[in-house]
């Protein structure tokens, strides 16, 4: 039996809320680690910091050097938006925890 669209919408809303909470937890965790490592004191453009984090992520994923791991700039995927959310989310929440 097929589910009615209202139940599917309710499930989607629940999953979106779970995703939001998971991203918040991840951002706070990464933010705390970055602050302990001294990133809070470094004056650096956000794009440069994001590039450095991407390089670090490649190192731990085992990606080949020279590959960005990102889709082409013309791609309308939301993959890069998550990185921005994590970086900006972590920065905005962490000072209140310190």
- Structural domain of 27: 5-67+80-97
Residue 6 has pLDDT above 90, yes or no: yes
Residue 84 in any domain: the answer is yes
Domain count, the chain: 1
Cα distance between residue 53 and residue 48, in whole Å = 9
Residue 29 in any domain: the answer is yes
H helical segments located in the chain: 5-36, 46-61, 79-97
Q: The pTM is what?
A: 0.54
Residue 17 in any domain: the answer is yes
Residue 72 in any domain: the answer is no
Tens-place pLDDT, residues 42-89: 898 999 989 999 999 999 998 765 555 454 444 444 444 444 444 444
């Amino acid at each position: 039996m097929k589910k009615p669209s209202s139940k599917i919408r309710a499930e989607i809303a629940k999953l979106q809320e779970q995703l939001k909470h998971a991203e918040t937890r991840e951002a706070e965790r990464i933010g705390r680690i970055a602050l302990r490592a001294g990133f809070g004191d470094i004056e650096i453009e956000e794009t440069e910091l994001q590039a450095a984090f991407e390089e670090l992520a490649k190192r731990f994923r085992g990606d080949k050097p020279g590959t960005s791991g990102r889709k082409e700039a013309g791609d309308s995927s939301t993959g890069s938006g998550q990185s921005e959310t994590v970086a900006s989310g972590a920065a905005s929440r962490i000072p209140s925890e310190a």
